[in-house]
Amino acid sequence: MKILFYLPALLSAILLTLSYLPFSFGALIYVALVPVLWSLGRCRTAKESATLMGVCGAVFFAATLFWFTKVFGVFAVSLYFLLALVWSVFGYFYFVLKQKSKLWLVPVLWTGLEFFRSEVWYFDFPWMTLGLSHHSDFSFSALQSASLWGIYGTGCIIFIINQCLQESLSNGAARKRIVCAMSALLLACALVPAVSRYERACAAKINSGPSIKVLLVQSEDYTLDELERLTTQSKFSGGLILWPEYQVPILPGERLRAEIFRRMSDIAKNANS
């Protein structure tokens, strides 16, 4: 029975994973949370609800942020659990709101926790928010609407659509029609302004400036030596070299910082960049 209890959470984790890179099935994000939300509605205690969401989050983050293991080694496991902890908090308060018949506050709770872990929390974990799923060709037009209500507003709309679909599966025929209509309206609110803006952008004549060459170097090995090796190996010359900031260590002491900057300067000069 315990295995069956966690199946909806695992299904949601799989659907969520498929919504992001490298799979990029963006359409799935609008139904990905339905299984776990359906299961949350049947939890009998706050502990069950928190555990269910924690399992869903742990599987999802481990699957999508697998590259953490390359950067942090075995400590990546603790980061997966930290991220899953935020989802457990959501599960706990979902049960509280359900008991108080205030499920209309659930999207606010979800969006608030996404904002907290991305912008407020000490660890600053902005990865894999719902709005970030809008990167594929399917969801490109919806991505444009983020300029109206931001990445968290986009994620909130996605969550509301999932919640409406879940409610339509759990209630009577009359309520189904209402909830489905709300889902369609929210989807239209997300897409219509965006499509219009995208079409205007495509119609406009854009005068491009002079082109420059760009070399983007990234490695899952957390060392400056590896970045230097890959940059030199590319034989790139005469352009802009981009390195990820997390791989450039900021070490204490003026001498160490000066040494890092000297190496970076030498690489740029040798590449005429």
Tens of pLDDT along 10-23? 999 999 999 988 88
pLDDT, tens digit, 9 for 90 and up, residues 149-192? 788 888 888 898 888 888 877 766 555 665 666 666 666 665 55
pLDDT of residue 253: 55
For residue 29, give the DSSP letter.
G
pTM of the predicted model as reported, rounded to 2 decimal places: 0.73
Query: In this predicted model, what pLDDT tens digit does every residue of 25-40 receive, in sequence order?
Result: 888 888 999 999 999 9
Run of H or E including 231: helix 224-234
Nearest Cα residue to 89 out of 121, 49, 130:
49
Residue 12: Cβ-neighbour burial (10 angstroms; 0-12, 13-18, 19+) = buried
Strand partners, 215: 241
Range 114-133 burial, b when 16+ CB lie within 10 A, else e: bbebbeeeeeebeebbbbbb
Q: Determine the Cα angle at 54 with ends 163 and 15, to 5°.
A: 50
